[in-house]
Each structure stands twice: as structure tokens, then as C-alpha cells.
Amino acid sequence: MTHTSKGEANKGVQREHLFRKEKKKSAKQQIDATLEEIYNERYELSDEDDDSDWDPLEKQVKAVKWFCINCTMVNLSNVVHCYACGEHKGSGIVSLGCFASPLMPEGDIAALELDATEKPKGSFQKGFPSDSTMVGFDERMLLHDEVEMKSHPHPERPDRLRAIAASLASAGIFPGKCYPIAAREITRKELQMVHALENIEAVEFTSRLHASYFTPDTYANEYSACAARLAAGLCADLASTIFSGRAKNGFALVRPPGHHAGVKQAMGFCLLNNAAVAAFAAQAAGAKRVLIVDWDVHHGNGTQEIFERSKSVLYISLHRHEGGKFYPGTGAAKEVGSMGAEGYCVNIPWSRGGVGDNDYVFAFQNIVLPIASEFAPDFTIISAGFDAARGDPLGCCDVTPAGYALMTQMLSPLSGGKLLVILEGGYNLRSISSSATSVIKVCFAYHDRRHFS
């Protein structure tokens, strides 16, 4: 071999070494990737475990990865606890124990699909005390699901609602201490207050398709449009019910989430903007000033876009930003509103992950509450994503159920208790269920301290 060919061979070995090193790092780096990157990235295995060149003529090897049932993260076969959330490989939390929701067993999917096509639109529910806490939920929202898994189970999945519903039921909260509100699908006229007609029609069109995607991470099936309209309809009716004094406060246990959905685009798992629909419904009922506090770990770019020129809606968001590197990249502190509404959009961007209760409480005490109090809202909406919760695979932060409860407690008095909490993100089943339960406890405890513990 010549000197030149030896040199080229050494360079080739070095390149191969670097390539293998980068492959081994990819799994560790995955937890810091953006929402869309996590979902679409092909999972890379180390050379020892690589099964990409599986040959049907050779002896088949055992599976070398498993997906966590609690948080959906991928793990290598030689570990028994999820690297992201610690859940055991053989966990049965969805089918057994506390997360086996009594509201809709897995085997009832066929009946629910029939129900989705035949069930009437729904009507306003009467006969509950005016100081009650309402919960908006409809099992048809569980039919919104990804038809075929890509390289990774989709984190925004029906089990999120099942887990929360099961937690509330086991605590005797709902059904029990909170009252249900009948579901209805939002009308096109109501949606046109928020979204462009082209976006509304794009969502509606998905009901004709078995499977479709708005963006690589935002799926739809034939039931997704109905689920999105039900979610928006529940939020609208809860807002008008609470503002008009027919209920004290409420929690919208809904999906798909909404705060990334903008005027013209569905994105970030979101089809229709539930918080924006609720804000307009409250205004239609007579609200003059609506406060939206968004504590989802991702910036609510859709909500900000919808209200960035409005002085009647104050939008405050706390989120990971990292100089625009964290999904969706918007939400810098300099984004304050426009066209005469400067100051009615307040962004509190975190420069890193790992922020927890102390960080959020400090921001609430020194930024959120002073600004919100000066605004003096007569209706308050929380875009309650629980993906900043401890153990969430996408947020990688450290907020506890007690932290979420305290933030809810701080916001409750702002509008005389007229508060609507709307579920956004959150992808660790244990974290999202315990956090949502803590928040709802604060809601009904606000008018009955005997129930809070």
C-alpha cells in the first residue's frame, strides 16, 4: 500500500469513528430536541445493537428497543426502566390499576365510533348549582388518534385523557364533586371569529380521509375534525357558563390541544385554538377584559398571533425558548403585541430546561400577577399544558403538582373566581394526571375549602 493510500485509509477510519460516536450520542441528545425533531427522528442504535440490516435469511434477533407506555420514549432492550421517566418496561398502567379509565374501556372503540356518527350535537346542561365547578369532557375526543405509527409512538394520544379521567374518578372528583357539561360541536360561525375559512375547511376535510397530516407532527384521522369541534365547543360553553354566573369555574378536559393553532394553520398537535374560542365566547357573554395565562412548556404561538393586535385580551406565556431553538421558536421577550396593542402580550422565556416550582412562582409573583392585576380581567383562562411537569419527555422541566396547584390558586381570585382551565400539552401519563387533579382540586376548593386537601 502506498503512503497516499495509507493516509486515505486512516482518514476513512477516523471518519467512521466519528460517525459511530455521533450515532451513540443521538439517543442522549434526543431529550433536548424540539417537538417535531423528536417525533420524526429515526432512532439510531449503537453498532452492537444495530438491527437496520436485518436479513430474513439469518436467524432473527430479539427486539432491541421498547417504547415507554407512560411517556412514549424509546429505550434499549438492556434497560428495564425508562431513561426519561423511570417507568418499568413491563408497566401495565394503561390497562391495569389507577389508569384503567372507567369512562371508556379499550374494547368499546367500535361502539364509540358508531356513537360519533349518530350522537346528536348536544345541548346546554341545566340543573347544577351556580357555585359549582364544571368539567367538560366527551369520550368521542378519544377517537382522535394517529392511524399508523411512524418511527415513534405519537405523544399526543388518547391515553392522556384516559389517565386524567381515571385519576379524577379514583379521587371521587369527577364524577363526584364536579359537574359535567353537555358537549356540542362548535359552529363554523363561531370558528370564523378565530380562524380563517381555509383553515376551518382544511380541518373539516380530514373527516373524508382515513389518515392525514397537517405538518409532520400533526396528524388527523376521520374522527379528528369532530373531536376538535367538540373540544372547542366545550371550551366555548364553559366560558359563557362561567362568565354568566351559572357556574363558578371549570376545567376543559379536551383534546386535540389548541394553543399552537393559528389563524391559518394547524400545527404542533393542535387543530383549532380552544383558548381563543373560549375568549371570544366570554366576550360574547359580556366580558370586557380576558386574561389568558399559558404555562405550557411550549410557546402558544397560535394564541399570540390571534390576539397580538387586541387590547381586550392580555396574553401571558411562560415557556422554554432558548434563544428561539426550542419549539416553536417564537415567544421572545421582545414580542409584546403590535398595531397599538403593545404590552398586551407578555412573554417569559426560559433560557434552559430544568426550571421548576421556584422559578414559576417567582415569575408569577414578580411579573404575572402584577401585570394581570393592573389589567383587571373579568374572565381568566389558563392554557394548562402539563409538559413542564417533572418527568415529561418533551419539556424536561421540574414543575410538581403542588406547583401547578399554587399557580392556579394565585390566578383564581383575579376575576372574582371566574376561571376556565383548558388542557393543552403534557405527555407523561403519571405527571399529567396528578397535575391536572391537583389543579381541579383548587378549582372546587375555591368555593368550598372543606374539599381541598
Positions marked active-site: 260
pLDDT for the residue numbered 110: 53
Cell numbers standing for residue 131: 357555585
Reduced to 3 states, what is the DSSP secondary structure of residue 391? coil
Instruction: Kindly tell me the burial class for residue 32, based on how many C-beta atoms sit within 10 Å of its own C-beta (0-12, 13-18, 19 or more).
Output: middle
Range of the domain at 427: 97-451
103 in a domain, yes or no? Answer: yes
Q: Are residues 22 and 171 in the same domain?
A: no
Lowest mean pLDDT across 4-18, 179-193, 391-405, 411-425: 4-18
Q: How many CA atoms lie within 13 A of 266 on its CB side?
A: 29
Contact 399, 388 (CB under 8 A): yes
Same domain for 331 and 229: yes
The pLDDT of 302-318, averaged and rounded, is: 99
Residue 86, domain member (yes or no): no
pLDDT at 95 over 80: no
Same domain, 412 and 443: yes
240 with 130, same domain: the answer is: yes
Q: Which residue stretches of 105-223 are H helix?
A: 109-118, 159-170, 188-191, 197-205
For the entire predicted model, the pTM comes to 0.84
> Among 109-123, 181-195, 262-276, 304-318, whose mean pLDDT is lowest?
109-123
Q: Are residues 67 and 105 in the same domain?
A: no
CATH code for the domain of 371 = 3.40.800.20
Q: Where are the alpha helices (DSSP H) in 41-158?
A: 109-118
Same domain assignment for residues 278 and 360: yes
20 pLDDT above the threshold of 90: no
Total count of residues recorded for the chain: 453
Element (H, E) at 5: helix 3-29
Neighbours of 333 (CB within 10 A): 10
Which residue type sits at 409?
Answer: Q
Rg of the Cα atoms in the chain: 23
Average pLDDT over residues 81-99: 79
Domain assignment present for 91: no
> What does the pLDDT average to over 91-120?
56
Q: Kindly give the residue spans of alpha helices, DSSP state H, lying in 30-75.
A: 35-40
